[in-house]
Amino acid sequence: MLILGFESTAHTFGAAVALSNAKKGEELSPKNTKIIAENDKKYPSLKEGFIPRKLADFHAKNFDEILGNTLKTAGAAISDLDAVCYSYGPGIGHSLHVGYVAAKSISVSRNIPLIPVNHALSHIEIARFHSGYKDPLAIYVSGGNTQLLILEKFGSHAKYRVLGETLDIGVGNFLDHVGRHFMLTPPDAVGVLKEAQKGTQLVDMPYSIKGMNTSYTGLLTTATKMDPKKIPIENICLSSQEYAFSMLLEASERALALTGKKQIVGVGGNYRNKRLQEMTLELAKEQNAVCHFPSFELLGDNAGMITITGALQFHSNCFDETLLPNQKARADAEKVGWWL
Ligand code: MG
């Protein structure tokens, strides 16, 4: 089967084609299912953040080129496709609709199934797909999302259950804010990491964990009230990171203790942070668990993970064509019909 997929939840507009040789009833794996073409463009956002209308214009403008290049690399025509998928949420409404219109128009004109894919779910599923882990604790950390999830059986299918999550903003959002406030280079979480690597001393910050939930706005208020003339910026960044990650991983440790899971996947754009990976590996070692992080490219938003998840859904006939773009879609609302 040949599947085309679109990603357009936020700054990335991307398309990918997956080819699968899996037979009916056979489990999809990296051996029988591969991304054979992928292209994307990212909206430049450093100065003004994301302006929804401008994001959607950017995606729409790049649609022709991205789709054309992706099909060309795949050596495929639209008429060769068996299904088309797109990420229907969570994300920014304006940009979600560009992906929807792109996929829906191809689905209608070619009379092939339309598969709405949950973006958050695909961040986890791409990690399970490549690691082969059947039953991990997923630590999902991005700008907008910070959640701990596990799979649970519900009759004939499975669902993700959110064991804990942020009570306010995502870890990524917190670190981006700190980066922008102090005008770091770049002015986001990457800038915070760069400064933190030079840090030598922790400063006091609020540590807020309630059960398996965490909260980051207290940290944000404290960090942005600090005066870099009195406290070196590298120590503010070091402390911001260490406190945020420690809270998240203490919650994760509680989740492991509660569930007895022995596999961990760390997913979402903020898992590109090597310090967070290092701390997660330490936790895994202490808990006798194995741990997997997707590659650098697959940790950020990408059309490949959407398309692989679309392929899993198509192959197991587990999708709802009537779903519309949904800014607040949640991973725990999805049926996971391919979980064995
Ligand atoms: Mg994402």
Rounded to the nearest whole angstrom, what is the distance from the C-alpha of residue 11 to the centroid of ligand 1? Answer: 10
Query: Which residue, among 24, 23, 28, has the nearest Cα to 311 in the 3D structure?
Result: 28
Q: Within this chain, do residues 289 and 306 fall inside the same structural domain, yes or no?
A: no
Residue 340 banded pLDDT, cuts 50, 70, 90: low
Residue 113 CA to ligand 1 center (angstroms) comes to 24
CA of 188 to the centre of ligand 1 (A): 16
> Is the same domain home to 241 and 273?
yes
Is the per-residue pLDDT at 47 higher than 80?
no
Looking at the structure, do residues 274 and 292 belong to the same domain, yes or no?
yes
Residues with Cβ within 5 Å of ion ligand 1?
A: 142, 301
pLDDT for 72 equals: 98
pLDDT of residue 129: 97
Is residue 241 one of the residues assigned to a domain?
yes
Centre of ligand 1 to C-alpha 189, Å, is: 15
Q: Is 322 exposed, middle or buried (0-12, 13-18, 19+ CB in 10 A)?
A: exposed
Residues 264-279 have a mean pLDDT of: 97
Interval between CA 177 and ligand 1 midpoint (Å): 17
Separation of CA 6 and ligand 1 centre (Å): 13
pLDDT digits (tens, 9 = 90+) for 25-42: 899 999 999 999 999 999
- For residues 272 and 160, membership in a common domain is answered with yes
Q: Is there a domain that residue 273 lies in?
A: yes
Residue 155 has what pLDDT? 85
Check whether 310 has a pLDDT greater than 90: yes
CA–centroid distance, 142 to ligand 1, in Å, is 6
Asked whether residue 96 falls in the same domain as residue 236, the answer is no
156 & 275 share domain: yes
319 and 199 share one domain:
no
Average pLDDT score over residue span 117-131? 98
Residue 338 lies in a domain: no
Dist. CA 121 → ligand 1 center (Å): 10
Number of domains in the chain: 2
Domain presence at residue 117: yes
CATH number, domain of 326, equals 3.30.420.40
> In the prediction, which pLDDT does 156 show?
84
Q: Are the C-beta atoms of residues 164 and 148 closer than 8 Å to each other?
A: yes
Average pLDDT for residues 283-298, to the nearest whole number? 97
* 120 Cα: distance to centroid of ligand 1 (angstroms): 6
Is 340 within the bounds of a domain? no
Using left for φ > 0, alpha for ψ between -120 and 50, and beta otherwise, residue 335 falls in: beta
Please tell me the distance between residue 122's alpha carbon and the centre of ligand 1 in angstroms. 9
Tens of pLDDT, residues 128-184: 999 999 999 999 999 889 999 999 998 889 999 999 999 999 999 999 999 999 999
The reply to whether 159 and 188 lie within a common domain is: yes
Confidence band for 119, pLDDT divided at 50, 70 and 90:
very high
Q: What contacts 101, CB < 8 A, 6 or more positions away? A: none
User: Is the domain of 235 the same as that of 194?
Assistant: yes
Distance 227 CA to ligand 1 centre (A): 32
Q: Are residues 84 and 163 in the same domain?
A: no
- Whether 223 maps to a domain, the answer reads yes
Residues 147 and 277 in one domain: yes
Q: Are residues 49 and 153 in the same domain?
A: no
Does residue 163 fall inside a structural domain?
Answer: yes
Residue 339 covered by a domain:
no
Residue 21 confidence (pLDDT): 97
Domain extent at residue 159: 133-297
248 vs 25, residue with greater confidence = 248
C-alpha 12 to ligand 1 mean position (Å): 9
pLDDT of 46 over the 70 cut: no
Spatial contact of 82 and 1, defined as CB atoms under 8 Å apart: yes
